[in-house]
Structure formats: structure tokens, C-alpha cells
Amino acid sequence: MRLGIVYHMPCWQAPDGTIREIEGSFARYVDSLAPYFDEISLCVPVRIRPAVEGTRIRAANVRLKPLPDFDGPRQFYPQLAAVRRVLAEWVGEIDVLNCRVPTPAATFAFDAARRRGVPTFLLVVGDLAAIAPTLPYRGIKRLLYSLYTAWEERAIRRMATGSLTFANGADLAAKHRRQRQQGVDVIETKTSTISAADIVSRHDTCQRTPIRVLTVSRVDPRKGLRILPGAIAALRAAGHDVRLDIVGPPVGRAGEEEWAAIEQASRALGVVDFCQLKGAVPLDRLMPLYREYDLFVLPTGPGEGIPRVLLEAMAAGLPIVTTRVAGIPSLISDDVNGLLLGEATAESVAGGVARLIGDAALRQRLIRAGGETASAHTVERQAAEMMGIVAQRLGVALKTPAPRGLTTVA
């Protein structure tokens, strides 16, 4: 049984023969599904000379079906003819198709699979329509992005109607349930990157100075990172010895502009030595890195399902301050396993962090509950639940994984 996954996450073949992807979350998703199939074929943009180390896909039964490289729709659609030829050939080589959406190639892969009778399931991981108002586009750029968003929204709605569909978080699941007209229900999932081995036991944080605050996020306007220098400045003005590291790469030109704006704000507020942009860190090195910090902050805006970094932070025993948007409230309950902000501002973030610094009992309660949440949402449990439903609903015979998980790890 061969699973095909179509997505826009860039991958490449490293000199040592391993397959790597640019961020790490997709690699762990692929590894989690690998034990259920004889082979997984990834139809993704393939980089020739990647600028980053990337994260290794460890399962030995994964192969690449290269698409022309693209960063977004602007690079994708001029290559559409070549993409469609690849997809038409590829769907004849697979037994089950998984479309991770939104992604530009998904609708074309979906149509090719339907023509060949290949069973398909969707995993919805983001919401372009919710993102659109947060992007700094103007004029023709905003118009073009609005047209692209409308196209993707219609495509996902069409694919989801009558198809087996999973959605990341309650917000996305509710949206696509409302939009469906027939077929089975949309099934809520919580996309995870953490393994049981990543979960650590931790009693408390903030026991040393400086207090180290961590944000892990792609740098782009929808993530709300521009307010963080102001939050650090406010905390330091109030006498809190805090330092913030922002881990993650800039995404496209808008991300590079956001990076520059964060650096400029840090200099203007006098916190350039206390608010550092660290760039991308491969997931295998990032997971233990979480444990070196005291608190986790994510001031993200609408448009996501559930950011996978929240579960990663909880697995490392970090109390969390984040926003009440998208699917986040379906994972985090305020004052139970994290603090939720109604609006992400420098003042609200500083207030949440100051509250955690000053209240040991609160920190310890959030750490305990966060660990329980992480344990309930490992990538192995997520894969088992999803593949059980896929086997039942699509009528396909999947392999039974070995009790300890990835037996194909090299």
C-alpha cells in the first residue's frame, strides 16, 4: 500500500542520501504515518541547493516525487503545466492520496486522483481567508492575494464535500462543517510534532536570572512578533530581568520586512541586547532547546489551526502565554494549561509574562496541566487515530505498526 502526500513544504535529498524538509513539523507527520504503509511518496517542491540544514525524515520507506520548486502562488502558477504533468503521472503510482491544504497543487492532484479512482483524504491545517486581513499587502498585491484566497477557499470546499476530511483544531473543523453540503463529518484533530520521548517532567521555571523567554514561529506579519520588543521593554522597565529569543525563519519578502521591523523596534526601545532573532533551528535540535527556557510566548493572529509549537512548549514544561484565536482555545484553556490573551499587544503580553514570573503556584499548575495535554496529543496517538478512521472510511488495508512505533528508522 503506497500513500501519496501532496504539500508545499520544500524537501531535498541531502548528500548522505537522507530526505530533509525545511521546518521539521512535516517531517514528523510523514514519519508518524510511515509505519502504516509500504511506501510514502511525497509530491512536494524539491530544493537543489537548500540554504538551511533542515530536518531529516527518518522513515526508510519515504520517496520524493519532485515538483518544480516554488515559494508561493506567484512562483507556482507559471509552472502549472509542468506541475499537472507530474501530478497526472504520480497519482497512477499511489494507492491513497493525502492532500494537506491549503496548498496550490492539492486541487489538481485531487482531480487527477478522482479520475483514476484513488481514495483521498484531506488534512486542513490553515485558513487563508482568516490570514488575509493581517497581511501588509496594498493595491494590486492585495487584490491578487484576495483572488488567490477565494480560489483556494472554493477548491478546499469542493474537495472537502463528500471526502474524508480532518481539520486542525475546533475552529477550522467548525468552519468546514458549515461549508460542507454532503458526505461524512469533518473530523477535528490536533496536529502534533511531539513524541512521547519529547515529554519531560519539570516542576517549575523562573528560578534563575535572567528569565529566558522563548518564541518559536516563522517570521511573517500574521504572527504578531513585531509587538515583542515592546513587551520586553515594558517588562524590563518594571524591573524584570528578562531576555527573549525568537526562533524561526523569515517567510518571503514580507517575512524579511517583518524581521527588519522587529530589529528596528528593538533598537528604538533600547532592548536590542535582550530581544534576539535566532533564525531557523532544525526540529531535532529545537526540541531539547525548549528546555533551556523558562516561559513561552506566541502572540499569533488568526489563520492557523493549532500552532504545533504550543504542544512542543508544553512537552518541555514551559508555561505558555498566547492568544485566543483560531483553534488555540480548543487546545489551551485559560488559567488551566496556559494563559490566553484576548488581544496581542505589547502591554497584554508583558502583563501575562509578569503574572507568570510573580506567581509560582500558577506556573506549576500550568506546567502540570501542559504535560498532561502534551501526553494526550503525541504524534503517535494522532497517527493511530487518523489511520484508524482512514482504514475504516476509505476501506483500505493498512499495516499494523510495531508496538514501539517507527521500526523503519535508520
Residues 331 and 319 reside in one and the same domain? yes
Contacts of 4 (CB under 8 A, 6+ apart): 40, 41, 42, 43, 65, 90, 91, 93, 94, 96, 97, 98, 109, 118
For position 134, what pLDDT does the model report?
67
Whether 284 is covered by a domain: the verdict is yes
What is the count of structural domains for the chain? 2
- What is the grid cell recorded at 48? 537543489
pLDDT in tens, 227-284: 999 999 999 999 999 999 999 988 878 889 999 999 999 999 999 999 999 998 989 8
Give me the helices (H) in 269-307, please.
283-289
Residues 173 and 243 reside in one and the same domain? no
Is the pLDDT confidence value at 383 over 60?
yes
Residues 369 and 233 reside in one and the same domain? yes
pLDDT in tens, 296-345: 999 998 877 789 999 999 999 999 999 998 889 999 999 999 999 999 99
Residues 204 and 314 reside in one and the same domain? yes
Residues 202 and 101 reside in one and the same domain? no
Residues 168 and 205 reside in one and the same domain? no
Global pTM reads: 0.86
Q: Is 290 helix (H, G, I), strand (E, B) or coil?
A: helix
Residues 186 and 171 reside in one and the same domain? yes
Is the pLDDT confidence value at 405 over 50?
no
Is the pLDDT confidence value at 80 over 70?
yes
- Contact present, 63 and 29 (Cβ < 8 Å): no
Residue (of 317, 102, 114) closest to 205 by Cα position:
317
Is the pLDDT confidence value at 392 over 80?
yes
Residue 358 sits in which domain range? 197-376
Residues 167 and 234 reside in one and the same domain? no
Residues 246 and 389 reside in one and the same domain? no
Is the pLDDT confidence value at 408 over 50?
no
| pLDDT bracket for residue 130 (50, 70, 90) | confident
pLDDT in tens, 161-188: 878 999 998 888 888 887 665 555 799 9
Is the pLDDT confidence value at 13 over 80?
yes
- Cα distance between residue 180 and residue 304, in whole Å: 20
- What is the grid cell recorded at 330? 480548543
For position 180, what pLDDT does the model report?
60
Partners of 243 in the β-ladder: 212
Residues 214 and 178 reside in one and the same domain? no
The CATH number of whichever domain residue 242 belongs to comes to: 3.40.50.2000
Residues 321 and 367 reside in one and the same domain? yes
